[in-house]
Amino acid sequence: MKQGTLSGLVAAAFTPFGMDGELNLSQISKLAQLYRTNRLGGVFINGTTGEFASLSLTEQKLLVEAWQSDKGSLPVGVMLGGTCIKDMQELALFSAEKEMDAVAMLSPYYFRPKTVADLVEVVAEVASTVPHIPFYYYHIPSLTFSPIFTCRSVKAMYSLLSCFSCFTCTQKPLRKVSSLKW
Total structural domains in the chain? 1
Q: How far is CA 29 from CA 32, 39, 44, in A?
A: 5, 15, 15
Give phi and psi for 77, each to the nearest 5. -105, 155
Write the pLDDT tens digit of every residue in 123-146: 888 888 998 888 887 755 656 556
Q: How far is CA 168 from CA 86, 98, 107, in A?
A: 23, 24, 12
List CB contacts of 60: < 8 A, sequence separation 6 or more. Answer: 46, 52, 91
Nearest of 137, 131, 129 to residue 163 by alpha carbon: 131
Write the DSSP symbol of residue 42.
Answer: E
Report yes or no on 82 lying in a domain. Answer: yes
30: CATH: 3.20.20.70
Is the pLDDT at 169 greater than 70? The verdict is no
Domain that holds residue 56: 10-178
Q: What is the mean pLDDT of the chain?
A: 79
Report yes or no on 75 lying in a domain. Answer: yes
Report yes or no on 149 lying in a domain. Answer: yes
Report yes or no on 2 lying in a domain. Answer: no
Report yes or no on 4 lying in a domain. Answer: no
Q: What percent of the chain has pLDDT over 70?
A: 69
Q: Which of 18-22, 62-66, 79-83 has the lowest mean pLDDT?
A: 79-83
Give the per-residue pLDDT at 181: 41
Work out the number of other CB atoms within 10 angstroms of the CB of residue 143.
14
Report yes or no on 87 lying in a domain. Answer: yes
Q: Please tell me the distance from the alpha carbon of residue 111 to that of residue 114, in angstroms, as a whole number.
A: 9
Report yes or no on 60 lying in a domain. Answer: yes
